[in-house]
Amino acid sequence: MTMADYRSPWRDQELDLFRDSLLRFIEREVTPNEQRWRAQKHVDRDFWRLAGEAGFLCTDIPEAYGGMGADFRYEVVLSEELTKANSTSWGRAVHSILANYIARHGTEDQKQRYLPAMARGEMIGAIAMTEPAAGSDLQSIQTRAIKDGDDYVITGSKTFITNGYSADLVGLVCKTDPSLRAKGMSIILVETKDLPGFAVGKLLNKMGMKGQEAAELFFDGARVPQSQLLGTEEGKGFFQLMADLPYERTMIMVRAQAAIEAALEMTITHCRDRELFSQKLIEMQNTRFKLAEVKTIATIGRVFLDHCIAQLHAGDLDAVTAAIGKLWLANMQNEVVAECLQLFGGYGYIMESPIADAYVDARVQTIYGGSNEVMKEVIARSL
């Protein structure tokens, strides 16, 4: 049985119809543009609107706020199929995470104002956490938003921000009380268009995921109304972030598992076609044993991921289980893709090869969403 024959227990007929529609959309609108997006380091703005019109944005946001009114499983399908199509340029996952922050923690006015526009692709969302001197240790961020009259005055900088170059709406993680650590953090919804004191730096030249924009953001006395605070109470930012981390880390798991399965399938195909010493590569014992190991990892990973998806869908996925999944699957993705690339030989080292893209794209998976070292600390605290 191949991985393609396996059917996850959370799948149903409606999801299959959604997947079929998505596959046609990817074939028509994504695959022909992926290499161009990688070269220009960002996705075309018109594509976001096209995706919104097709119903592939904010699928798990309620219909009352412009979303599809579906659930997390639809976001899973999007990530799975985009990854298997070797497309990592479109930063829709971060966009979806910001939409979920607003849906879960925002005021009614914020939901009505932003979610429909995000679902249509008219507003592109980003989340600004990382700073030049603060990554996984979010409590050490220095960007501050200080009250002045009816506004917050924002000063600081962010880096490695996915969608930062194009974002119309930034969920800015900052200190509204710089004297405190976690309890001094808030999230402020910053509309970037024509905002004095706000600037976007250069698009960063990354090792992989080259089409998914990553930019520096600068705030120098930028003023936004206090009504832009996410929710109604200051100092809740850290807890809002922690509450949604299982969602984010499951999305990383989904991409890791999909990449593992895609690498396995493309390597099996290559080894069946490639001849070495007058025999097919797949007929050699070393090749067969390596692929057997990869299939074992893929099978175990899929079962555990399905468990996490079912728990998240039911609202029961805890932070420790999400950390375990993110740690293991991100590590396995890097290990598997490296093993598969080896079986491609010199062809695997050429960037026109999908396995080469998969290799460089995999590296960041152990870094973002909380580094894997942080995942170990989260898990260790539960012992």
77 near 85, Cβ under 8 Å?
no
163 near 93, Cβ under 8 Å?
no
Terminal Cα distance for the chain, rounded: 37
From the list 248, 275, 352, 373, the catalytic residue is 248
**Which residue, 306, 317, 304, 314, is CA-closest to 11?**
306
**Which residue, 237, 246, 233, is CA-closest to 143?**
237
Task: Give alpha helix (H) positions in 165-314.
Answer: 237-273, 285-314
How many Cα atoms are found within 13 Å in the side-chain-facing hemisphere of 292? 8
Is 27 annotated as catalytic? no
**How far is 56 from 95, CA to CA, in rounded Å?**
11
Burial class of residue 307 (count of CB atoms within 10 Å of its CB; 0-12, 13-18, 19+): middle
**How far is 10 from 72, CA to CA, in rounded Å?**
11
List, by residue number, the catalytic residues: 248
